[in-house]
Structure 1
């Protein structure tokens, strides 16, 4: 809103002068306040757009974007020149310090961030927070081993082993059953953390697709974490689309058909 007013500054001043409207024009100082306020608020708009998308992973970005937003806003404290904007910046810094100081301990945000190969532990400033998140991920990977087939397993396959190979097959089966799910999960998490970071502009899901066979347990955990969206905006968009489909002239659509139309509208691209 403020950006549009600034873009129309000359037109607004000229129009008010021509029509002699009973409206007090903004002073030069007030125009400067608007300009500085836009500069301060622009990063908030960028972050809002970034985490409100529904076509890529968003929850894993929240920790990093919030920290970056705090730093950028704090830098404005020494740059702004107008008193009103200085008050705005101070209020924003205080509010973010209060809201964000325990964000790294949030279960969902910490686990999604670590499971994003672009960020991992680099997004954390508190080592205790990322250690706790890794412990939870390791426990989840250990539990998932019960439903995730091990690499090289023959689950669901009908093998016709001859008598010559039966001795080896018995030993291989016994070795698999003696494996420790806990140690396997720990080794898998440790190996994942030692992998080089993925490009920030790349899709983390493509990385996991390529590494699926190497990290079967973590992949199973990842599918339940990286699908989480950072905000409620995607669902609100669907509600808005539903209101456009179900109108007064189309109020007899049955629920099943409405559900299918909304699904196609949201996913057919």
Structure 2
């Protein structure tokens, strides 16, 4: 029985580490982080997915204030932009070209600073020691939200509780309706096929 159960788990969950949802949630759990991935490739894919999610969250936070208003980032040290001169068309073209290049340069600098901040947060978080298994990850992020603001916001997105357990309970009910006293000779493979058809055939018929 143990051998059969182990084979079933390996068959169904052998690609679980490559699923971005589960990989990012595991990295953001301070009890696990990247300590339990089975291969270097899985860790790399998980960190890449985490970096993308943190960058998305950083962009979202930079666009809005706590009141929901738009916020325009300003750099007090940047030089004033050139203005077009009205007396010459060639000078206007030159000024517009310079203004366009200046905007592009500012945009690249902002993206570079954002990327650096993201990498620093992720690297610092992952290099720290994991917390005990008995500790709450929500308490950890509540305490460390000041040190890792973007990571904490991303963790709140990925570590939220499932909205309901109805689907899993319905699956157990479907199994009990198929394997009952009148079908007590069904083998495991045949019962699995019937449950699969019960749950998935209506979805295909709708298409």
Structure 1 residue 197 corresponds to structure 2 residue 130: yes
Equivalent of residue 125 in structure 1, options 29, 34, 38: 38
Q: Give TM-score scaled by structure 1 length.
A: 0.43
Alignment of 1:1-269 (within 5 A): 88-148=1-61, 170-171=76-77, 178-179=109-110, 180-229=113-162, 233=165
Given that 1:148 and 1:220 are in contact with CA atoms closer than 8 Å, whether structure 2 keeps it comes out as no
CA drift of 1:117 comes to: 0.5
Given that 1:141 and 1:185 are in contact with CA atoms closer than 8 Å, whether structure 2 keeps it comes out as yes
Q: Give TM-score scaled by structure 2 length.
A: 0.55
Cα distance in 2 for partners of 1:90, 1:199 equals: 30
CA distance 1:107–1:170, change in 2 (3 Å)? closer
Given that 1:144 and 1:217 are in contact with CA atoms closer than 8 Å, whether structure 2 keeps it comes out as yes
CA drift of 1:206 comes to: 0.7
Given that 1:117 and 1:204 are in contact with CA atoms closer than 8 Å, whether structure 2 keeps it comes out as yes
When the two chains are superposed, the root-mean-square deviation of aligned CA atoms in Å is 3.3
Cα distance in 1 for partners of 2:165, 2:143 equals: 30
CA drift of 1:181 comes to: 1.1
CA drift of 1:208 comes to: 0.5
Given that 1:104 and 1:126 are in contact with CA atoms closer than 8 Å, whether structure 2 keeps it comes out as no
Q: Which runs of no fewer than 5 residues in structure 2 stay unpaired?
A: 68-74, 81-105, 170-207
CA drift of 1:155 comes to: 8.2
Q: Which runs of no fewer than 5 residues in structure 1 stay unpaired?
A: 1-87, 157-168, 238-269
Cα distance in 2 for partners of 1:94, 1:236 equals: 22
Cα distance in 2 for partners of 1:235, 1:101 equals: 23
What is the CA deviation profile of residues 120-156 of structure 1, one whole-angstrom value per residue up to 9, with x for unaligned ones?
A: 011211121121111111111112222325xxxx988
Secondary structure of residue in 2 paired with 1:170? coil
What residue number does 2:84 align with?
none
CA drift of 1:91 comes to: 2.0
CA drift of 1:90 comes to: 2.8
CA drift of 1:217 comes to: 1.4
What residue number does 2:194 align with?
none
What residue number does 2:91 align with?
none
Q: How many correspondences in the alignment?
A: 133
